[in-house]
Chains A and B, each alone.
Chain A
Amino acid sequence: MGHDTRLLVVHDEDAIRALLLTVLRRRGFQVDTAGNAAEAVEKLRGGGYAVVLLDLMMPTAGDDDFLEEIERLAAAERPAVIALTAGPRTRYLDPDLVAGTIRKPFDIELLADVVAQLLRKGGQGNRQWQMNQES
């Protein structure tokens, strides 16, 4: 049975995108993917995402562009962003924009559970998402 909602996976590695797409689709989620920040911004502007999984290691600081785009959205319309990280590097992430981080290697069960929890919250509190579900 599907969870009847949408999420966006933003990652520049084909195999990681394939991994996340496969696992999350099997859980019944509606998943879109983007291989770079420009593509992700374009999809985000289309609206309707409750959750975004965002690679923080994309080249050319694409993740910063994407987070700036999120910041332009009204708070009620922002998707919950989970940052995908690798290695020991830490950096400041605005808690108004990023709900949490998941470190590589990705525990696919944990990741799918986190997404499921966030989608339940998004379904209750994200006005944009609710509008899309009704249409």
Chain B
Amino acid sequence: MANEPRVLIIEDHDALRAMLFAILRHQPLAVDTAATLSAALERISTCDYALILIDMSLASDGAEKFFDGFRRIRPESTSFIIAVRDPKHDVFIDPDLVSAVVNKPLEIDTLAEVVRECAAVIPPPDEPLPCPPAESEVRDRFDRGSELPN
């Protein structure tokens, strides 16, 4: 578990976040989620992520503010960032940070494979942060009946 690429899902829509988590936790990935801007910034302060999946429709310009925070908190990060967007809404997506865009409604199997394959080739940082166990790992333990999730 510890060596699996770590992935962060930033999504404030509960059902979508739960769906993405359910899909990605069954990939060989360690998966965390953040439902708010502040939770997302807290996550990137404490963990190195190979890949970040962020919904551009976060409330109150949350995605834009996240990118500002990301630049400040992790200026040297090599995280591969994929933006999820509603194609009906035209939003600026910073090409310096975001590598790819996927449109809603999400093509789930393609997204799962893209996240898995891209995260797998991102080199881990030389001095990784001491992250707490990933949400997916805690959930796995809970499912096996050995631990209650926080």
Contact = CB atoms under 8 A, between A and B. Distances in A.
Interface residues of A, number: 19
Interface stretch (B13-21, B37-45, B112-120): B112-120
A26 B108 CA distance: 12
Interface residues of B, number: 21
Interface stretch (B97-105, B124-132, B140-148): B97-105
A14 B118 CA distance: 8
A18 B121 contact: yes
Contact of A105 (B99, B107, B117, B120): B99
Contact of A18 (B96, B101, B103, B120): B120
B64 to A, nearest CB: 14
Contacts of B98: 104-105
A75 interface: no
Given A15-B80, A105-B101, A107-B101, A23 B121 contact: no
Contacts of B93: 105
A108 B113 contact: no
B83 interface: yes
Chain A, interface SS category: helix
Interface string B15-30: 0000000000000000
A23 B82 CA distance: 13
A21 B117 CA distance: 9
Interface string A10-47: 00001111110111001000000000000000000000
Given A14-B121, A109-B107, 16 more contacts: A15-B99, A15-B121, A18-B117, A19-B99, A19-B100, A19-B117, A23-B114, A26-B110, A86-B95, A104-B98, A104-B99, A105-B95, A105-B101, A106-B99, A106-B100, A108-B100
